[in-house]
């Protein structure tokens, strides 16, 4: 088997180029691929399309790409807590498609399953439905298309050499779906383990959906921390 383990984020992300579409896992700041985002922010690339629940928050996460004007289009379900994004939206410096969160996850899932589009009642009669086909079932539904990507950057807690992944609790969020919907999935992990250390029933994402793995470091984990009594 050709190794999926790379020495660094720079090596794993080496072929990400301008005009790429990138899915980035995470919910708020929970489960975001910090190392991959930091590396991308230092690369000479532009005109990226980002698909992520939110484009960073409070100066962290994908905001690092945004403030360097690397993102020209974004699909997301939440834009709050991000003054940098707000400023660019009002200045028409970025094209943002705001997608209801359930529709957002289903559009990604559909891409991974080879489903080109689906009908949903969510958003009918609102700005979300503008320009979209409407079909009557038990109620009016709008047609939503699948979301694909060139690359998915995600974070997992553990990976084995085959790319089987285990995520820590809610840090799993959208990441498994994104891995299925992208041409190339790049995973940073906190722990690299031996084959068999992740029990089959504990594999949250099979390695067939993972192309590259590297061990991350220096995590800020701004929202993932434990408080204990003294």
State the pLDDT at residue 224. Answer: 58
State the pLDDT at residue 222. Answer: 67
State the pLDDT at residue 220. Answer: 80
Name the band, by pLDDT with cuts 50, 70 and 90, for residue 196.
very high
**What would the mean pLDDT of 166-184 be, rounded to a whole number?**
96
Name the band, by pLDDT with cuts 50, 70 and 90, for residue 46.
very high
The whole-angstrom separation of Cα 196 and Cα 187 is: 19
The whole-angstrom separation of Cα 156 and Cα 32 is: 9
Computed over every residue of the chain, the mean pLDDT equals 94
What percent of the residues of the chain are helix, what percent strand, and what percent coil, each to the nearest 5? Answer: 25, 30, 45
pLDDT surpassing 90 at residue 227:
no
Task: Compute and round to an integer the Cα radius of gyration of the chain.
Answer: 18
And the tokens for 200?
Answer: 């089959």
Residue 158 pairs in a beta bridge with: 166, 191
Sign of the alpha-carbon torsion through 212, 215, 221, 224: positive
Superfamily for 9-215?
Glutaconate Coenzyme A-transferase (3.40.1080.10)
State the pLDDT at residue 223. Answer: 64
State the pLDDT at residue 126. Answer: 95
State the pLDDT at residue 102. Answer: 96
In the chain, where the domains are located: 9-215
pLDDT surpassing 70 at residue 164:
yes
């Amino acid at each position: 088997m050709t190794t999926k383990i790379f020495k660094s984020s720079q090596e794993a992300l080496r072929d990400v180029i301008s005009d790429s579409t990138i899915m980035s896992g995470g919910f708020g700041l929970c489960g975001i691929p910090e190392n991959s985002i930091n590396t991308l922010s230092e690369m000479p690339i532009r005109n990226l399309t980002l698909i992520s629940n939110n484009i960073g928050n409070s100066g962290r996460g994908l905001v690092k790409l945004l403030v360097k004007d690397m993102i020209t289009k974004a699909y997301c379900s939440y834009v709050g807590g991000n003054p940098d994004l707000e400023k660019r939206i009002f200045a028409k410096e970025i094209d943002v498609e705001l997608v209801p969160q359930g529709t957002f996850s289903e559009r990604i899932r559909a891409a991974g399953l080879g489903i080109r589009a689906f009908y949903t009642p969510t958003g009918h009669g609102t700005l979300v439905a503008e320009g979209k086909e409407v079909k009557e079932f038990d109620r009016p539904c709008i047609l939503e298309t699948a979301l694909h990507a060139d690359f998915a950057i995600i974070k997992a807690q553990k990976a084995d050499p085959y790319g089987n992944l285990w995520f820590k609790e809610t840090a799993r969020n959208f990441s498994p779906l994104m891995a299925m919907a992208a041409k190339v999935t790049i995973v940073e992990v906190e722990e690299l383990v031996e084959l068999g250390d992740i029990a089959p029933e504990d594999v949250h994402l099979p390695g067939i959906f993972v192309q590259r793995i590297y061990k991350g470091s220096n995590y800020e984990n701004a929202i993932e921390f434990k408080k204990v009594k003294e």
